Amino acid sequence: MIWQGRLLHIHVAPAASYEMEELAEAQLIAGSGIIGDRYYLGTGTYSPKPDVREVTLIEVEVLEAIARGEPRIPGLKAKLEPEDHRRNLTTRGAPLGHLVGKRFRVGETILRAARMNYPCKYIEQLLGIPGLYEGLLNRSGLNCAIEVGGTIRPGDPILPIDE
């Protein structure tokens, strides 16, 4: 599969339920997470669980589809800003659903896609959008491990690694 994506936004939160803060650049630490983020700090809702969640990604295409009400079932139409979805990185052009088990570059870092993220009903309560849970099913993002750390910035390319 030949593709090239782009990093659009970087967000972190210092603890569970805190508002996401947008960053102009972020430092990713291999085996740990993004400096300043709840999962790096061990203060995220899912921090104690044995799950790879060093950095999370979501496609802006998903946000655009939800704004249009696609797919028609459940037919949810909601405008989600990049700081609303609770993922660290918002991407364009990277086929996240096809990357599970694969390695890829984001700027100078290398990530390994562990699994697709499952939405939780808490996001509906947090944002006050009934039906958002169903709207995010099977497209709620990607959980990754950081294999090679470094600095990332919006605009950085996202590229496959030939294996």
Domain 5-160 CATH assignment equals 2.40.33.20: yes
Would the pLDDT of 49 be above 80? no
Tokens of 5: 């994506």
Name the pLDDT band for 47 (thresholds 50, 70, 90).
Answer: low
- Stated pTM of the model: 0.92
> What is the residue-averaged pLDDT of the chain?
91
Residue 91 scores a pLDDT above 80? yes
**Using CA atoms in the order 82, 84, 85, 90, what is the torsion angle rounded to 10 degrees?**
10
Q: Which two tokens stand for residue 25?
A: 């650049």
Residue 71 has a pLDDT of 78
Joined tokens for residue 156: 């950085």
Q: Taking 90 as the threshold, does the pLDDT of residue 75 lie above it?
A: no
> Concatenated DSSP letters for 102-140?
-EEEETTEEEEEEEEPPP-THHHHHHT-TTHHHHHTT-S
Extents of the domains making up the chain: 5-160
Q: Is the peptide bond before 71 cis (omega within 30 degrees of 0)?
A: yes
Identify the pLDDT of residue 50. Answer: 59
Amino acid at 42: G
